[in-house]
Amino acid sequence: MILAIENAIPAGEGTPIASSAPFTGVADRIVRRSLAKREGEYADEVRRLLDAALAVMRRCGTSSRPRVADIVAEAGLSNDAFYRHFKSKDDLVTAILEDGGERLRSYLAHQLAKEASPEDKVRRWVEGVLAQAVGDVAASTLAVMWNGGGAGAGLASGRHFASAPVATLLHDPYGALGSTSPELDAMLAAHATFGFLSDLLWEGAEPTAAEIEAVTGFCLAAVARRVPAPGPLSAPAPPSRIARGPSSAPASP
Instruction: Return the CATH number at 76.
Output: 1.10.10
Asked which of 44-53, 180-189, 197-206, 223-232 is least confident by mean pLDDT, the reply is 223-232
Statement to judge: residues 106 and 79 lie in one domain: no
Q: Is residue 15 part of a domain?
A: no
Instruction: Name the domain count of the chain.
Output: 2
Q: Is residue 210 part of a domain?
A: yes
Q: Is residue 168 predicted with pLDDT exceeding 90?
A: yes
Task: Say what percent of the chain tops pLDDT 70.
Answer: 74
Q: What is the pLDDT of residues 34-83, one digit of tens each?
A: 777 778 888 999 999 999 999 999 999 888 889 999 999 999 999 999 99
Statement to judge: residues 118 and 221 lie in one domain: yes
Q: Which of the pair, 210 or 149, is modelled with greater confidence? A: 210
- Check if the beta carbon of residue 133 is closer than 8 Å to that of residue 195: no
Local structure of 205: helix, strand or coil:
coil
Statement to judge: residues 129 and 59 lie in one domain: no
Q: Is residue 12 part of a domain?
A: no
Statement to judge: residues 50 and 153 lie in one domain: no
CB contact burial 104-139 (16+ within 10 A = b; e otherwise):
bbebbeebbeeeeebeebbbbbbbbbbbbbbeeebb
In angstroms, what is the C-alpha Rg of the chain?
Answer: 27
Mean pLDDT (whole number) for 23-42: 74
Statement to judge: residues 156 and 199 lie in one domain: yes
Q: Is residue 140 part of a domain?
A: yes
- Check if the beta carbon of residue 59 is closer than 8 Å to that of residue 71: no
Statement to judge: residues 129 and 163 lie in one domain: yes
Statement to judge: residues 212 and 104 lie in one domain: yes
Statement to judge: residues 75 and 150 lie in one domain: no
Q: Is residue 194 part of a domain?
A: yes
Range of the domain at 61: 31-86
Q: What is the pLDDT of residue 107?
A: 94
Picking from 44, 50, 36, 131, the residue whose alpha carbon sits closest to that of residue 94 is: 50
Statement to judge: residues 110 and 219 lie in one domain: yes
Statement to judge: residues 53 and 147 lie in one domain: no
